[in-house]
Amino acid sequence: QSALTQPASVSGSPGQSVTISCTGTSGDVGSYNLVSWHQQHPGKAPKLIIYEVNKRPSGVSNRFSGSKSGNTASLTISGLQAEDEADYSCCSYAGSSTLVFGGGTKLTVL
């Protein structure tokens, strides 16, 4: 059960788009379309923003989108806003009612 691999940090200017990758294995990301993404502002609890690779919970901006190819999932944030500055963590179902998280990516809005 190794953690999923994410870049430590990404950055972008307001209005730009950024993409955060999340690489797993054939036992987790590659086997299931059950990747979720969670946004976490400093000192706050995480919040679900994408589930089942590309679905958004009610109330989440359509500027957030997800995709997957093979063992790698991606989160794209378009039209960057200052409020998007946060940590983003991916999570994949790994079978037998288990989950695995990525190490998290810090997004800086320049």
Contacts with another protein by CB under 8 A lie at 1, 3, 6, 32, 34, 36, 38, 45-48, 51-52, 57, 89, 91, 93, 96-104
DSSP 82: G
Shortest gap between Cβ of 13 and another protein (angstroms)? 26
Cβ distance to another protein smaller for residue 71 or 89: 89
Cβ distance to another protein smaller for residue 13 or 96: 96
Shortest gap between Cβ of 92 and another protein (angstroms)? 9
Backbone angles phi, psi at 8, to 5 degrees: -65, -35
In angstroms, the CA 81 to CA 16 distance is: 9
Shortest gap between Cβ of 48 and another protein (angstroms)? 5
Cβ distance to another protein smaller for residue 45 or 82: 45
Query: What is the distance of C-alpha 40 from the center of its chain?
Result: 11
Cβ distance to another protein smaller for residue 15 or 57: 57
Judge whether 22 and 75 are in contact, CB under 8 Å.
Answer: yes
Nearest alpha-carbon partner for 100 in 109, 87, 90: 90
